[in-house]
Amino acid sequence: MRYILSLILTILTLTCLALPAKASEFMDMDISLGKQVLARALCKKADQVNYVTRVRNNVYLFSVFYAKMESFFFVGVYKDMIKVQGKTYQKVTRSIPYHFDGLAKCGVVDYSVPDCPTTERIVACSKKTIEEELDEKFWDRPIPDLLEEDLRNALKSEEAEKPGTTQNGQDTETPEQ
């Protein structure tokens, strides 16, 4: 009887995880969020949790030393919810709400466990593309530098448009005799 009950509970849990939900398109952010949320749920440090593999589109497997042995946990990152379930310890299940900041491409979780001393917000951001990094680098400069660069570019283009001069501003035409 006990075996059947635990089998039914496992099937129900996996069915709930399999419900169609929009997955995040940022796998690196999902893994980081999963690692930090699992660490917080177990009252561990994030570096004590190890990413093992991606089980499917938005479900990841992590390992951690828990209850005197190496234990595995599934973490599903969905549109607005993170679900944590122990593979070995199925009683360890959590559903934690989070929100995604689309502008910064970061997931933000406000989650605390009464037994743990850490209550700070969990933030995990996706890696930026090269274009985004260059754009951010450009706008992080002071405004006078941006204006000076604009002025230099305008003067260069103005000099290039003048007939009879080179890029250095020297005359290329021969003087009349």
More confident residue, 160 or 14: 160
Output the CA–CA distances (angstroms, integers) from residue 15 to 41, 126, 132, 157, 173, in the order listed: 22, 28, 38, 64, 82
The confidence score (pLDDT) of residue 2 equals 58
The confidence score (pLDDT) of residue 166 equals 55
The confidence score (pLDDT) of residue 53 equals 93
pLDDT grade, residue 3 (50/70/90)?
Answer: low
Regarding beta strands 106-109 and 99-101, do their DSSP bridges make them parallel or antiparallel, or are they unpaired?
A: antiparallel
The confidence score (pLDDT) of residue 83 equals 92
Tens of pLDDT along 103-161?
Answer: 778 889 988 888 888 888 888 888 766 676 666 677 677 878 778 888 888 888 888 77
Cβ(126)–Cβ(28) under 8 Å?
Answer: yes
Residue 165 above 60 pLDDT? no
Residue 175 above 70 pLDDT? no
Q: Domain locations in the chain?
A: 2-127, 131-161
User: Interior CA angle at 114 toward 109 and 120, to 5°?
Assistant: 35
The confidence score (pLDDT) of residue 7 equals 43
Residue 67 above 90 pLDDT? no
The confidence score (pLDDT) of residue 5 equals 45
Q: Cβ contacts of residue 70 below 8 Å, gap of 6+? A: 63, 64
Residue 8 above 70 pLDDT? no
CA distance 32 to 118: 17
